[in-house]
Amino acid sequence: MKRIVSGCYLAIGLLAGRVAVGQAQTSAGASPAAEPVYEFVEQMPALLDGKAVWEARKMMQQTMMLPAEVKTGKTDGKVEVTFVIGADGKIRDAKVTRSLSPATDAAALAAIRELPLFQPGKQNGRPVAVRLRMPIEFFGPNHVFRYAALNPVVRTGDFNAYQRQHLRLPAVVTAEQLSGTVGVSFVVLPNGRIDSVRLAKPLMCASCDAEALRFVRALPPCYPGRNEAGQPVAVQRFLTITMPPPPAPPTPDSVTRPYTYVEQMPSLPGGGGAVALAAAIQKNYISPANHAAEECGKVSVKFKVGPRGGLYDIEIERGCSVEAANAAAVAAVRKLGRLVPGQQNGYPVTVQLSVPVVAGQP
């Protein structure tokens, strides 16, 4: 993310789309002052290997010597520098346009002057001089980044499972049937410790807010964020604490070993519960010819209703001697189509049902 931001800063300086003619300020050995200096051209300057100019900024940030005042945390911020890449590919006219301190300004100019030779920009196929703007960061050990090249990671594994295990749900949430979220902002330090915990989005429950703060402060150390050079840095993060925590998803056993009873049993799309389901199967049943009901009585069909409501593994659990009647009972279940799946803990799960069917002709 920081790389993208850096590229955007540079683009601001590059896309002005104006041409400054006869205003080039030269230094010793520079091109004549009458040389036009562009701020945007058809082919912008690049490194000799073809990489974009912002790659030079990344390289410079990694190798630049920071002044002592930055290393000790006394000074923290950015210096903005403009400079011209001439038609010969050399840098000239480097100037500080946004100052931070004399020491950082000097370090920024020195770093710019040490950049390598560039491929010059081109306009109408001819090399021309181009003015660029580049922000240079002087961030000390106490700087807190909003984003890093590699953001911190909280070491909790499944965060919802961690919430269910460690969140001390205030009694008022259950008593008043409250539900909502609390947003908490915090800083992950370079050593992975959590600091500066504060409410960013309170819930309308004082005990909920207090518990969210306690919960975040008690989190285990994080994997720290890292800058483009791979060094650990402090990064601000944000967590949303859900109260009550999300319910646990069904275990793998609910797929390999389906439930026989759940909080919300499978049903027809129109509802009606188990009675309506049994009635629909009976209505679908077509009795085989020449077989009276007393020859079979009732047969029992078992089947599974999947998490998406599909029916499968339809088979006779308790049948009769008339195979045609057994087959007709299975066909009656197949005609149901897709059902509303059963749910456990708010998640759709596989449920096995067993439904009696009156077989034979009445």
What is the C-alpha separation between 193 and 205, in angstroms, rounded? 28
Domain ranges of the chain: 2-138, 144-243, 253-358
Question: What fold is seen in the domain 253-358?
Answer: 3.30.1150
What count of residues does the chain have? 362
User: What pLDDT sits at residue 290?
Assistant: 63
- Give me the half-sphere count of Cα atoms (radius 13 Å) on the Cβ side of residue 232: 12
SS3 content of the chain, % helix, strand, coil (to 5): 25, 30, 40
Question: What fold is seen in the domain 144-243?
Answer: 3.30.1150
Question: What fold is seen in the domain 2-138?
Answer: 3.30.1150
Same fold, 2-138 and 144-243: yes
Q: Taking the chain (362 residues) in consecutive chunks of 10 residues, what is each chunk's mean pLDDT?
A: 39 38 35 75 92 84 88 91 94 94 94 91 95 92 87 88 92 90 94 94 89 95 86 92 85 71 91 91 84 69 92 90 87 92 87 88 52
Query: Of the candidates 328, 315, 318, 314, which has an alpha carbon nearest to the alpha carbon of residue 360?
Result: 328
What is the C-alpha separation between 301 and 318, in angstroms, rounded? 7
User: What pLDDT sits at residue 33?
Assistant: 54
